Amino acid sequence: MIEIERKFLVNSMAFKAEAHKSYAIKQGFLNSAKERTVRVRLKDEAGFLTVKGQSTANGLSRFEWEKSISTAEAEALLALCEPGIIDKVRYEVICGKHVYEIDEFFGDNEGLVVAEVELNAENESYTKPAWLGEEVTGDLKYYNSILSKTPYKLWSI
Amino acid sequence: MIEIERKFLVNSMAFKAEAHKSYAIKQGFLNSAKERTVRVRLKDEAGFLTVKGQSTANGLSRFEWEKSISTAEAEALLALCEPGIIDKVRYEVICGKHVYEIDEFFGDNEGLVVAEVELNAENESYTKPAWLGEEVTGDLKYYNSILSKTPYKLWSI
């Protein structure tokens, strides 16, 4: 399937009070190339293997294929991943018809907080909550596959 | 799981008369790095996604994880793979307690025929059929992940 997503920075932690759920995510990449990203994810007690293709020129749409795997499988595959495992906590906030997913990063990406909203069409309208900051859709440095190699703590150097 | 395999060249096509089955295989790589190979395979009407780790120093053992996927999923993922899709026909020959898998390659690897036998232990004994040639276990150039980038037709150049 094709995923359509917009990505934003977050200008306050007020989103936490609006979240209806949150969970820990640990993820690594079996390939972090933008043409064929292969991601292993452990999301609380669930495992996922996800393959993503290259984004369209505007950064909005991307082929995405995902398969559930066991936590034991996810752990075995994480051990094979490229260096740069990502640790984050994801919060979900319902806003109108959409769900914002806000990632608060830890480890080498501590200090970075990014929100994403998935749309059904590239021109679909959506409500912007007050804590939503600058749009960074399509900016490669915010891709998790890039953050695993060039984490936030290295950006200011 | 860990796979233990020995690989051989084949010195005659006599194996075809002993095969109890054969099927076409089309495969590509979402990552062909030896530390974390991610393979997409279409095997007649079945699809597979397989992740392999690095081989042990003697080339015999390798972590391998495999998941069944649909043919539609396999075709979508093959389209994302690195250039160098491999086409081959696999023959299976029962020999004593073991099954030899013999791959006859086509396309850019035409002329190459390689046999593999899977063992339960690195020191397990096995019967060598008459058509089995030189052992090439651990020789990287016979890895399918390498053949996809440096196919047989380029070897003599």
- pLDDT tens for each residue of A104-136: 999 999 999 999 999 998 899 999 999 999 999
The model's pLDDT over B94-147, given as tens digits with 9 standing for 90+, comes to 999 999 999 999 999 999 999 999 999 889 999 999 999 999 999 999 999 999
Q: Which domain holds residue B65?
A: 2-154
| CB proximity B50 to A under 8 Å | no
More confident residue, A8 or B55: A8
What's the domain count of chain B? 1
Residue B99 buriedness (CB in 10 A; 0-12 / 13-18 / 19+)? middle
Which residues does chain B have within 8 Å of residue A31's beta carbon, measured at their own beta carbons?
Answer: 30-31, 33, 36, 38
Q: What is the pLDDT of residue B62?
A: 83
Q: What is the pLDDT of residue B3?
A: 83
| CB proximity A49 to B under 8 Å | yes
The model's pLDDT over B64-100, given as tens digits with 9 standing for 90+, comes to 999 999 999 999 999 999 999 999 999 999 999 999 9
The model's pLDDT over A26-78, given as tens digits with 9 standing for 90+, comes to 999 999 998 999 999 999 989 999 999 988 877 778 889 999 999 999 999 99
Cβ <8 Å between A31 and B35 = no
Cβ <8 Å between B51 and A81 = no
**CA–CA gap between residue B41 and residue A85 (Å, rounded):** 27
Residue bearing tokens 């690897």: B109
| CATH number of residue A33's parent domain | 2.40.320.10
Cross-chain CB nearest to A65 (options B65, B77, B81): B77
Q: What is the pLDDT of residue A36?
A: 95
Which residues does chain A have within 8 Å of residue B69's beta carbon, measured at their own beta carbons?
Answer: 67
| pLDDT for residue A157 is more than 70 | no
Task: Pick the closest to residue A122 from A65, A64, A66, A58 (CA basis).
Answer: A58
